[in-house]
Structure 1
């Protein structure tokens, strides 16, 4: 005699009769996210070391930032530890690191004030754009609580070229004089690409990658 099968649990219905799907949530307490947070927390020490001419400590912190960035990316891919919070924390860590370097290096006279103003101005523009993009890409309902719920898909950015310039500028004071990292040429390149990328983010619909997930409704029975 065949054993009876337990009935499949039914999903709740909304007022129009369609199936209500549970809200998307994910585990945000992962090692990659912890590594990313550690990079953010190291930024005040990095800024202090630059202002006090301790460029060896600053370089060590930059090496840690680079290695931890590679490590959290590898762990997220290898062990499927991806999270939407990670897509927000990772560019936030890059921005925090870059802003710390930009401000402190400009204060020490190692970075032109004009270039620092362009970089900071671009980031302010992108930050304002990011809030708008998050609102428009957030799945309904658009409530205040869900707007600040970073386990819901949103958007991400990357500023590799600017970080490369800041790292080269930070390392230069401890290198022998015969080593040329082409910092002036990099400054010109970053100035041009910073303006270009800032405008492209604002005016090009394809410049920002929206991270979103949709659920397929089950076929009617």
Structure 2
């Protein structure tokens, strides 16, 4: 058990706390906890890569914690009307597609390892940024206006681009 793994497990414990804060309309606490979760992701990644603390457990735990945070926050924000449902459906569909492709590959005896690609990293950054923006605007009473729509569209475009790139990768892998 490494320090980055403990930080990642801590991030997993923050997920239900953020959800409870959102449902209770305690926006400032939700925003602060979300920021703490984001910082913890950066810290555990830094320690794992730069300080030689990477582990196989961490390689599995970190993306699970990231997805648990993003998907849970997006679903909860949609339920309370803070972000559009169509965007959440798109974000969740992408993740389900990736997980399904990996499982299907294993079942067909063509195991596949998915590594993050540039568009995927941009997508994740945009999704996290948009969630922070949605939480922060409610926490501090800031009206986003057209900026919210621009950010929604950016997240949607990057999500579709990432989904398309992973699908193309998977199809090439399965054909090969």
CA distance in 1, matches of 2:64, 2:115: 9
Does 1:103 find its partner at 2:75? Answer: yes
Does 1:62 find its partner at 2:34? Answer: yes
Does 1:136 find its partner at 2:101? Answer: no
Please, which of 37, 56, 68 is the counterpart of residue 84 of structure 1?
56
| 1:169 Cα offset (Å) | 0.8
Number of residue pairs aligned between Structure 1 and Structure 2? 165
Does 1:170 find its partner at 2:170? Answer: no
Name the counterpart of 1:10. Answer: none
| 1:137 Cα offset (Å) | 4.2
CA distance in 1, matches of 2:10, 2:105: 27
Q: TM-score, normalising length from structure 2?
A: 0.82
Does structure 2 retain, via aligned residues, the 8 Å contact 1:88–1:155? no
Does structure 2 retain, via aligned residues, the 8 Å contact 1:118–1:194? yes
Q: What does 1:23-42 correspond to in 2, within 5 Å?
A: 29-42=1-14
Does structure 1 retain, via aligned residues, the 8 Å contact 2:21–2:27? yes
CA distance in 2, matches of 1:100, 1:39: 13
| 1:136 Cα offset (Å) | 3.4
| 1:64 Cα offset (Å) | 1.1
Change (3 A) 1:196 1:171: same
| 1:180 Cα offset (Å) | 6.8
| 1:118 Cα offset (Å) | 1.0
| Larger relative contact order, structure 1 or 2 (CA cutoff 8 Å, min sep 6) | 2
Name the counterpart of 1:198. Answer: 163
Q: Which has the higher helix share?
A: 2
Does structure 2 retain, via aligned residues, the 8 Å contact 1:168–1:181? no
Name the counterpart of 2:147. Answer: 182
Q: Match of 1:62, SS?
A: helix
Unaligned runs of 5+ in 1: 1-28, 139-153, 209-221
Name the counterpart of 1:4. Answer: none
> Cα RMSD between the aligned structures?
2.5
| 1:133 Cα offset (Å) | 5.2
The structure number with the bigger radius of gyration is 1
Name the counterpart of 1:9. Answer: none
